[in-house]
Homo-oligomer: A and B are copies of this chain.
Amino acid sequence: MTTSAYPIDTLRAELPALDWITEPHRVENLSRDFAWYSPVLERTLAGKHGDIAVRPRSEDEIRAVVGACARLAIPITLRGTGTGNYGQCTPLHGGLILDMSAYNAFLWARPGVGRAQAGIRLAAFDDAARPLGWELRWLPSTFRSATLGGLFGGGFGGAGSLRYGPLAAPGNILAVRAMTVEPEPQIIELRGPEALVMHHVYGTNGIVLELEVGLAPAHDWLEGVATFDDFDAALRFGADLGRAPGLVTKEVSFMAAPITDYFTKLGLPQGRHAVVFLAAEFCEETIAQMLAERGGTLSYRATAAEVAASRRTLLEYVWNHTTLHAFKVEKNLTYIQSAYNPSCYLEQVRTLAQRFAGEVQMHVEFLRTKEGEYSCSGLEIICTRDETRLAEIMQAYRDSGVVINNPHTCYVEEGKQNLKLNPQVLAMKQRFDPQGLLNPGKLKSWAPAQPLAQEPAHA
């Protein structure tokens, strides 16, 4: 017997065969992600959780529970495996946690395109696609456990965005199969630009069941860390390596000293400026020639076979895993997300690194934007959790012409969308979630026809 504001017991009684999770500590765990990176989110999301969770195994089970929630006016918050950083799976108004992680079949891969159910783990997708010669175009550092649907719901891209840009670039997401939240849920295939309207809105405007995505040719990836005495030499090497058209690179990031000192298991020299990279093994000779010309040292190197044998991959040292390694050494940290200007990113990185020396540890990921412009995005480590100072630093970034994709908010409009919400997002919500039951409160621009029937008990 739960004490929810919603008719949770009725819901469960209607569908007794489903895989329900009811123990409070398990439901609380399923209501959390890695939002604790942010002091702001840690504070604002404290105590928020669902009332019950369910882990459907088939489209029929999803349809049954979604239809019941629509009839019973119970909010639904989608969840993959909870590796996000913005609290997308944390319900602001209780209700049902719809854990998609058991709905995870790999469906097919053809040249350049693959399709799977939303709950598939990214690593499982790659395990299935690689024997066919293909792999996912982008891997966040959480790829071992993160789901494809979760990445689509609240992710940007990751390793591979260097070449293929973010998920949002045309050609990366080809289609989604999505379900409406109605007493009789409909299932609709959205293709191309229409599919992207459900991207990065935290599951607020439709339930994504399957994704059809562009694939990349699979290569054997060499993993390396090049280190330098000089900040600028390292930064320029990273920028040039990631942009070099004759090299096939999947990941290039620049980490100023002392960031790689946090990577205690890699045996790197201390206090060096570093470039972490994944490149096709056949590029190694050329990279060694470039490094020799520029005075860099290859301080870590692992072939694809060595990575497979050790299960240690630098993919778990880049993007927001960099920050995670820092947290293992020092708790009084947070981070920001920044998007540098393609026309002057190196100057901006240099200037901000100098201005905030000792306070901001510079970490940028080289990538291509949605339009294909080469640039870098920052996941800078901020050496304080003071919210006032954090806000000042973010404002100083903005004043320098660097876009902040604020990771210290759980609201759709205030994060990557930067207050410029595509109006199609709301039209899609009207179409797929007319009752406003999906992750209520996250999409602030949505004005429901009528508020949720009952005030949540623990808001």
Contact = CB atoms under 8 A, between A and B. Distances in A.
Interface in A245-291: 245-248, 280-283, 285-286, 289-290
A368 interface: yes
Nearest to A165: B245
Q: Which 9 A-B pairs have the closest CB atoms?
A: A171-B246, A112-B282, A165-B245, A243-B372, A169-B246, A217-B217, A172-B246, A245-B368, A171-B286
Nearest to A193: B289
Contacts of A310: none
Nearest to A214: B246
A191 interface: yes
A175 to B, nearest CB: 9
A174 interface: yes
Contact of A169 (B193, B244, B368): B244
B289 A170 contact: yes
A339 to B, nearest CB: 15
Contacts of A369: 245
A283 B213 CA distance: 11
Q: In this complex, which of A110, A192, A290, A369 has the most chain B Cβ atoms within 10 angstroms of its Cβ?
A: A192
Interface residues of A, number: 45
A59 B193 CA distance: 56
Stoichiometry, copies per complex: 2
Nearest to A194: B289
A247 B171 contact: yes
A438 interface: no
Contacts of A220: 111
A78 interface: no
Interface string A280-313: 1111011001100100000000000000000000
A326 to B, nearest CB: 29
A280 B137 CA distance: 15
A127 interface: no
A232 interface: no
